[in-house]
Structure 1
Amino acid sequence: MSEPSAVDEPSAAQGSADPAASIRAAIATVDAGLAKAFDADPNADIDRLLAARAGAMDAQVRAAWNACIPADAPLALFAIGGYGRAELFPQSDVDLLVLAEPDAQVAHADALSRFVALLWDGGVPVGHAVRSPAQCTEAAVDITVLTSMLEARPLIAQVEHLHALQAAIAPSLVWPAREFFAAKREELRLRHARYEDTADNLEPNLKEGPGGLRDVQTLRWMALRIVGTGDLESLVAIGQFGADELSTLERERRALSRLRFGLHLVAGKREERLRFDYQKVLAQRLGHVDNADNLAVEQMMQGFYRSAALVLRIGERLLQRFEEQIEGESTPIEIDHAFELRRDYLCARDPHWPRDAYDVFALFAVWASHDAVRGLHSRTARALAESLSRVPAFQQAEPALRERFIALLRGPHPVHALERMARLGVLGRWIPAFAKVSGRMQFDLFHVFTVDQHTLAVLRNLARFASGIADERFSIAHEVWPRLRKPELLLLAGLFHDIGKGRGGDHSELGAEDARIFCSTMGLSQADGALVEWLVRQHLLMSVTAQKQDIADPDVIHRFAGKVADRERLDHLYLLTCADIAGTSPKLWNAWKDRLLADLYTATRLALRRGLEHPVAGDERANETRDAARAMLATMGVRDEEVDALYARMPDIGFQRGRPDQIAWQAASLRGVEIGETRVRARALGEHAGALEVFVHSPDRDGLFAAIVATLDRLGLAIQQARVLDGPNGMVFDSFEVVPIDPRCPPTTDEVEERLGTALDGDLDRIRPARRAQPRHLKHFRIAPQIGFDTLEGEQGTRTMLSLVCTDRPGLLADVTHAIRSQGLRVHDARIATFGERAEDVFQITHPHHDGRDGALDETQRQALRQALLACLEGDC
């Protein structure tokens, strides 16, 4: 009969007044003991815990079977799936197969129903199938069903039953090795694609994600079908697998299994995603402790990312070897004296390769020159992994080896070379600081990738700029790239810009020092090294200036140009900033940021060309804008005298701060509009789908700004920038740059104009912010609100600048403006910036005086507004 239970459990279902309750109690006792053992030593042998739980479940399943099924019934019971491997996690399903001929199935149908019902009533999440051997063959046409039966383990069965099952699903009947391998490889590819082909997600899936446990299981299934054994150790004996590779794969499988076991305990349900809800609790349960550089949760996640990367790396090699075994070796194609192609994989010809680090760098140079190859041959990949210790850190390397690295940056496809070096562990050896940020995550919503993966994403964006192909997402990047004197310097800046993270202190300063040492050691000229160092130190300067300051203000441009100092720095910084923002999160780059950075770049380049000793005066800027806008209006058929009349209705400050095309568009919008009449216009913002500029010309009245914001929010538009200008005759000129909250269904310009116009023609007091549920993940990233006030003196009089930093959420801006309105205050300018879960908004506000003039808030008014905002942020507004 079947093997004995791994755990000495009593027959809970036999002789009990309530067998289901007995099963439930027995499993609960075992689970409590296993959880206690896990918590006592999270580094204990996880395989022993999994096998112990499987053994305990075996005892209960057998007991239930014996309580329901006659001893002489011609039925056999198998554990299949993960349960069949004796890997039973706390919340895993218990999958069973009953093997029986059709007549026996009919005769014992009621008994089998009682058996399954008893297990369900006992709290066992059982999944079952009842099949004859012939039916197993038919069902195995579905490769998922076949896979579950490949690792069938007898529970109540004779040896002949197991042989019958194995014969029924033999490769000669269903899914021969070649077809099985191809289907499983495609299944793996599609599964990885569902997770964007990366394990470096904020909430990774431990089971199904790239580099997860399913990848390890897939390798075992392939081995079963191709070699005839799921024991990977046997592959070592036949030369298919290296002992070191097996050791690494098993180590990382156990690490992933510990995470999954702990996740099931923390979640208390079947959960495979490391969701934010569980990450901190699980890290604590695994014994991680916060330190000065790394939070406990970041330590845990770094361990996961590194484990997944190793599983992927070794998995690629084994897949390739399986393919070779099935397809057979092909005739090598010689590339040069050192390398050849085998089945389109790059392979070192010398069986003792690599003999030194020069051979390693030569590999990446040849690979870059033959960029279309399928990848690295498994034999060469393994040899490289075993010889990583031969790659010195750059500071200990010989000058000639350093020159080899610089040559890679100057050669073909340098970003591909850096990506491959990073993936295969070479870059971390060459630059030890890069190894420290490999797999390092930051527990926030702004950085959706690990530091190393973000860095590689930045480099890929730079490669897109270098291609010379215009990308509508980056309107002028392809024009700026050709101006670079030495593109490799920008690649180095991209490589080092975040390398200082996780060490405490300012990562820009730490990274700049690393970059200085690297460039000096590598023999770069003093000027080249200084440029890379400056770019790393100032890589956030352009982003912060564009998003937090008014770049339409000539003084802002002059100060920024003074910090940049020359056009070479500006070109490099612009491209690095675009690549950095777009590489931080797929959702972070939008049309507004593209236009904002392009405008800042253009204005700064003009200021540098003019000379910093000749700053643009406000009047000069306004006259230039008037003349340029007048020329545009002339092309629309607007005569000079009509232009003068339209300009007279517009605020003077607008000509200093607005762009010529914007002024011309607003002026044209006023044609045929009576004084005191509301006009709403919207237009596409560049070539980006869904991004809009919205212009509102309306009589000024209390609550107008809040009503506009609330209406735009209801339209599904997120405000990126707002400017409120007071014009003649009590009219306001409000302009908004917005992007759709859901890019899949952006409102049209007609919808915006109609909805907003209708709202403003009605009672503004009736327009309230929409109520929305807070997204699940935001509750784990609470930011204590920071509210600051400053007094601004300018041409528009004295104003108060309100600075707000808090947790972002849907409808936040609408709620904030409603709170400002509730205090009887007016908004004149707004800068909206969101960084993941962090909102950083700035408003210029005033309080209307009895004499009709606006002025800054006094201390009492500031405190009242502070209390209103705090109440609003707590949801009470």
Structure 2
Amino acid sequence: MASMPPPAQATPGHDSAADTAWAAEARAALADHDAQLAARFDHGEDVDRLLAARATAVDGWVRQAWARCVPADAPLALFAVGGYGRGELFPHSDIDVLALAGEGAGAPHADALGRLFALLWDAGLKVGHAVRTPDECTREADADLTVQTNLQDARPLLASQQDVRALAEAMAAERTGWTAQRYFDGKREEQARRHARFGDTADNLEPNLKDGPGGLRDIHTLRWMARAVFGVHGFEQLIALGQLGVDELATLERERQALSRLRFGLHLVAGKAEERLRFDHQKALAARLDHVDEADNALVEQMMQGFYRSAAVVLRINDRLLQRFEEHIEGEGELVDLDAGFVSRRGYLSTRDEVWPRADIGQVFDLFAAWAAQPGMRGLHSQTARALAESLHALPSWRDAAAHERQRFLDLLRGPMPVRTLERMARLGVLGTWIPEFARVTGRMQFDLFHVYTVDQHTLAVLRNIASFADEAADPRFSSAHEVWPVLRKPELLLLAGLFHDIAKGRGGDHSELGAVDARGFCEGHGLPEADTALVEWLVRQHLLMSTVAQKHDISDPAVIHRFATEVADRERLDYLYLLTCADIAGTSPRLWNAWKDRLLTDLRTATRLALRRGLEHPVAAAQRIAETRGQARGLLAARGVDAADADALFARMPEEAFLRGRPDQVAWQALSLRDVATGETVVRVRRLADGVQALEVFVHSPDRDGLFTAIAITLDRSGLAIQQARALDGPAATIFDVFQVLPSDPRHMPDPLVIERKLASVLAGSLDVHPARRTQPRHLRHFRVVPQIGFDDSADGRHTVFSLVATDRPGLLADVAHVLRSQRMRVHDARIATFGERVEDVFRLSDHHNNPLGEPARDALREALLATLDAG
């Protein structure tokens, strides 16, 4: 419907001043009424009464406006349609109306109707309007499913019985062509497209309460379908038809009211018709619902958990009803017998037993086993799904189950499609019943930008990543995982570790430690051998260890590898932990996993395997590491036609530490870059880390000058590249060897390496007086302020100061930090950049411009300058 007011036209007897006064009176009265509704909302009044009260108040003013503008004898009728027609009017919802005109009556009264709609807009009502004859309603509905649906909810405001009958006849299925089959198919396809827009999940950090999966629109869609398929006008009538259970109706109504209350409150705190529960409004809405001045993260997380659980329940009932509607239209079809007392009904898995599952968890596990053995099934039959839902309260948890029932659960993990089975169990509520701790994290979100899924959905994403390791076709996101998977002794142990790794989130305390206790109890309760139990327990306790070491420590340092290898202790643990870490990071956020992290974890695993093979009692000495790297790099150069003497001459121009910290292929690449360049000349080279990988390595060799690191960092930032790691080494003859590992800030656009080389070379040929670009902070970051933490420590060798920074991430942050370091005349020797959602945790090795560690005055000055820059950003 049109949503903008037409220009007001003068009509006979039209008094503009009187209209202006009336509109002002109506606007003030409606604002006062809305304020009263808001106060009633805050006092906990039933949301349905509030919605109806607003619709009633608006009705009165709409009727008054009609009386002012439309002659009493005009052959016109007025209907409320859409949500207004249903009497569900939220604080800032549009007012959709239909003016039903007799044949040829619309044009003569166009001016009057234009004045009406303009007057309503002046009164503060956002009007969507249409003027149609009955025949036009029929034609428009036939061509547009949305029109057909909106007019189904038509409610007479100013209409005779004859008008009501005329509209009903115009919208009859035999006239519009929307048969039960056509309407059902159209609405189901429309719902699928709508769900796809939101990633087919309700578990978005900023969910849409109206149109998202499991939102209010899904409930409306079910009611519209019920009317088309069964001719009923409410869910209650489906009970008598055997299509809806009393418990299902109560559940659906409960969740509809919960969602409606959230939407009503969202309109109030947003001050507009906002349907997306954005970060901007989550704290304000949580505070309003809990009657506090300001909500903390815990209150936000509690509110959001309520939404996610409501949406999940709506989706479950949605699936069942869609199937029942389809079955009513197409018929039940023939039953096909399957094993273990199950049958196929039109491709859906069903039980023959009418009183299944008799509170028997073993029979429930039999169902999931049969489902896994029949991969072609369309899903679970609605009758069986309903029986399962009704029996959940009577099913035991694993602690109350018999030993053979616990074994049946383990059999599912060892059988076909174990992760798909766990997903099905989670969606249907069985997993939370069997493992109550999982029910506690179902729908639990964390109010940050690092975790973009609820805990349960993140856990399932981790399990799906683990399942992908077993696929015949290697997942291109993981370079080595498919090679490690076949060596696992018992893959189900990795699944158990994935299932429990975050299960203690939100309890307070260290979730890794608490989860490890849960995992041990579960494994012991299911009769796993002590060695298997200990492995799962250790994996849950240490599931963050490998990620932390890889991202926050220098894994080219033999001492770091030795400490990590000592913690891991054996190669089996290493392989399990490597796969769990890959799956965990990739399952946290689609943007968190990248080629750089893949390379880091692969390199850490490779180095640790060598350390374990060598024996922890024989750690690698620096001299041995240097000699090994030299030898391997010399062999790589020989393959490129560089003889040993020339290779050693190139190595002599490189810092000794390059052989200690660098990989052989990296050293060989750098040496080749120096081959045709005289000593003292600037060299800039950029290469991909691997073919097809969205990550670059940047090498800069240049005479040393203050500000080099800052100029490089700012230029890379301006080129759309985010630095992940930086190493600045001092070479012979007062030269520097800087290496940067970078990723594109926008993964859709990888800058051309040759273009980057030219930009850097041009900057380094100049004065190095480069300043960071000023950019606006993204909206979502403004709501996640991290209090800056700045720390200083002495490096292990005493040569440098280790400077750590924890702060809110924002575009250009590293460039700003580098600029501050230059202004303080400090030199960067190493940098590791780690970003976790809205939080950055960066570590730098610094010295003053004389290459000495920083003294207290220098540390204080740096701290003050950085805090000023962070505040300004």
2:597 aligned residue: 593
In structure 1, distance between residues paired with 2:350 and 2:17 = 62
1:401 aligned residue: 405
2:872 aligned with 1:875: yes
2:10 aligned residue: none
Residue type of the partner of 2:528? Answer: L
**Selected match of 2:148 from 146, 149, 152:** 146
User: Conserved in 2, the CA contact under 8 Å of 1:76 and 1:161?
Assistant: yes
Shift of 1:813: 0.3
Shift of 1:690: 2.7
1:366 aligned residue: 370
Q: Helix, strand or coil: the match of 2:339?
A: coil
User: Conserved in 1, the CA contact under 8 Å of 2:706 and 2:825?
Assistant: yes
2:858 aligned residue: 861
Report matched runs for 1:120-269 at 5 Å.
120-140=121-141, 141-174=143-176, 175-269=178-272
In structure 2, distance between residues paired with 1:208 and 1:871 = 43
Q: Helix, strand or coil: the match of 2:120?
A: helix
In structure 2, distance between residues paired with 1:291 and 1:716 = 38
TM-score in terms of structure 2 length: 0.97
Q: Deviations 1:333-358 (Å, cap 9, x if unpaired)?
A: 11124111111111111111112211
Shift of 1:544: 0.3
Q: Deviations 1:321-342 (Å, cap 9, x if unpaired)?
A: 1101111111111112411111
Identity %: 66
User: Conserved in 1, the CA contact under 8 Å of 2:284 and 2:295?
Assistant: no
Q: Helix, strand or coil: the match of 1:680?
A: strand
Alignment CA distance shift 1:640-1:465 (3 Å)? same
Residue type of the partner of 1:105? Answer: G
Comparing 167-176 with 213-222, greater Cα deviation is found at 167-176
In structure 2, distance between residues paired with 1:124 and 1:438 = 40
In structure 2, distance between residues paired with 1:276 and 1:656 = 46
Comparing 386-395 with 590-599, greater Cα deviation is found at 386-395
1:388 aligned residue: 392
1:657 aligned residue: 661
1:295 aligned residue: 298
2:446 aligned with 1:442: yes
**Selected match of 1:411 from 411, 415, 419:** 415
Q: Helix, strand or coil: the match of 2:285?
A: helix
Q: Deviations 1:54-103 (Å, cap 9, x if unpaired)?
A: 00010010110011111111111000000000000001000000111242
Residue type of the partner of 1:819? Answer: V
Q: Helix, strand or coil: the match of 1:172?
A: helix
Shift of 1:229: 2.1
Residue type of the partner of 1:867? Answer: E
User: Conserved in 1, the CA contact under 8 Å of 2:98 and 2:129?
Assistant: yes
User: Conserved in 2, the CA contact under 8 Å of 1:679 and 1:696?
Assistant: yes
Q: Helix, strand or coil: the match of 1:736?
A: strand
Shift of 1:875: 2.0
Residue type of the partner of 1:855? Answer: N
Runs of 5+ in structure 2 lacking a partner? Answer: 1-15
In structure 2, distance between residues paired with 1:149 and 1:688 = 53
Residue type of the partner of 2:509? Answer: G
2:849 aligned residue: 848
2:383 aligned with 1:379: yes
Shift of 1:759: 1.3
Shift of 1:226: 1.3
User: Conserved in 2, the CA contact under 8 Å of 1:289 and 1:296?
Assistant: no
Shift of 1:472: 2.0
In structure 1, distance between residues paired with 2:691 and 2:261 = 49
User: Conserved in 2, the CA contact under 8 Å of 1:288 and 1:300?
Assistant: no
**Selected match of 2:524 from 513, 520, 524:** 520
User: Conserved in 2, the CA contact under 8 Å of 1:14 and 1:64?
Assistant: no
User: Conserved in 2, the CA contact under 8 Å of 1:496 and 1:514?
Assistant: yes
1:85 aligned residue: 86
User: Conserved in 1, the CA contact under 8 Å of 2:785 and 2:808?
Assistant: yes
1:722 aligned residue: 726
Q: Helix, strand or coil: the match of 1:127?
A: strand
2:549 aligned with 1:552: no
Residue type of the partner of 2:700? Answer: V
Alignment CA distance shift 1:469-1:536 (3 Å)? same
In structure 2, distance between residues paired with 1:260 and 1:69 = 35
User: Conserved in 2, the CA contact under 8 Å of 1:582 and 1:589?
Assistant: yes
1:113 aligned residue: 114
In structure 1, distance between residues paired with 2:602 and 2:236 = 58
1:604 aligned residue: 608
Comparing 415-424 with 750-759, greater Cα deviation is found at 750-759
**Selected match of 1:694 from 680, 692, 698:** 698
Residue type of the partner of 2:63? Answer: R
Residue type of the partner of 1:198? Answer: T
Residue type of the partner of 1:805? Answer: V
User: Conserved in 1, the CA contact under 8 Å of 2:286 and 2:295?
Assistant: no
Shift of 1:659: 0.6
1:51 aligned residue: 52
Shift of 1:491: 0.3
2:9 aligned residue: none
1:98 aligned residue: 99
In structure 1, distance between residues paired with 2:841 and 2:244 = 53
In structure 2, distance between residues paired with 1:711 and 1:564 = 40
Residue type of the partner of 1:103? Answer: G
**Selected match of 2:490 from 474, 486, 497:** 486
1:803 aligned residue: 804
**Selected match of 1:423 from 427, 439, 455:** 427
User: Conserved in 1, the CA contact under 8 Å of 2:817 and 2:866?
Assistant: yes
User: Conserved in 2, the CA contact under 8 Å of 1:288 and 1:296?
Assistant: no
Q: How many residues align?
A: 855
In structure 2, distance between residues paired with 1:276 and 1:127 = 29
Shift of 1:173: 2.1
Q: Which runs of 4+ in 1 moved over 3 A?
A: 13-17, 288-294
In structure 2, distance between residues paired with 1:129 and 1:426 = 49
Q: Helix, strand or coil: the match of 2:587?
A: helix
In structure 1, distance between residues paired with 2:664 and 2:845 = 24
Runs of 5+ in structure 1 lacking a partner? Answer: 1-12
User: Conserved in 1, the CA contact under 8 Å of 2:297 and 2:447?
Assistant: no
In structure 2, distance between residues paired with 1:601 and 1:118 = 71
Q: Helix, strand or coil: the match of 1:485?
A: coil
In structure 1, distance between residues paired with 2:296 and 2:281 = 21
Residue type of the partner of 2:264? Answer: F
Shift of 1:298: 0.6
2:829 aligned with 1:828: yes
Q: Helix, strand or coil: the match of 2:106?
A: helix
2:311 aligned residue: 308
User: Conserved in 2, the CA contact under 8 Å of 1:690 and 1:747?
Assistant: no
Q: Helix, strand or coil: the match of 2:866?
A: helix
